[in-house]
Amino acid sequence: MFERKFMTKAISLSRENIKKGGGPFGAVIVKEGKIVASGCNRVTCNNDPTAHAEVSAIRKACKKLETFSLENCEIYSSCEPCPMCLSAIYWARISKLYYGNTKKDAAKIGFDDSFIYDELDLPKEKRQIPAQQHLPEQAIEAFNDWKKAENKVEY
């Protein structure tokens, strides 16, 4: 259930982060009414293009809870997640998402969220980053190994 205090926290993180040299984005992850972890956009500060607020919060929450699954957790983000972060939310099995600004708001201040959503919607051959398949007959051997592997941890 939405709790205003958590969104207010995500938003204040997003504002404080600007003063600390980062981008205007913050997120918190909540489990059973308590904040487990938070994150800010530290892309340029940390030389890490994946260090968005949501991805950072997910990494920290998983580390803290010693798990790769955040089932029954909710994420509060100051902005609608970009496709990288939204996909990370899926991979982390987070149950619910609350956000403040939209991807259109982010586009207006120069962030590529909307552009990347559009690119993902295009067929591969029309995207701006060219992609080619090579050596599929070699690559598939890894998946054949995986099928046969014992004691593997699936997720």
Site for a second copy contains 83 (CB under 8 A): yes
Taking the complex as a whole, how short is the minimal distance between the CB of residue 96 and a second copy, in angstroms? 5
Site for a second copy contains 1 (CB under 8 A): no
| Catalytic residue list | 54
Residue keyed to tokens 């920290």: 60
The amino acid at residue 29 is I
CB 54 within 8 A of CB 87: no
| Interface map 46-65 toward a second copy (x if CB under 8 A) | xxxxx----x--xx--xx--
Query: For residues 133-152, which are near a second copy according to CB under 8 A?
Result: 133-136, 138-143, 145-147, 149, 152
Cite the DSSP H helix spans in 1-82.
Answer: 4-19, 43-46, 53-65
Site for a second copy contains 101 (CB under 8 A): yes
Q: Which residues contact 1 (CB under 8 A, 6 or more apart)?
A: none
Whole-angstrom Cα distance, residue 57 to residue 113?
Answer: 18
Q: Which of 2, 33, 123, 126 binds a second copy (CB under 8 A)?
A: 2
Site for a second copy contains 35 (CB under 8 A): no
CB burial of 33-59 (b: ≥16 within 10 Å; e: otherwise) equals eebbbbbbbbbeeeeeeebbbbbbbbb
Site for a second copy contains 30 (CB under 8 A): no
Site for a second copy contains 26 (CB under 8 A): yes
Closer to a second copy at the Cβ: 35 or 84? 84
Taking the complex as a whole, how short is the minimal distance between the CB of residue 20 and a second copy, in angstroms? 11
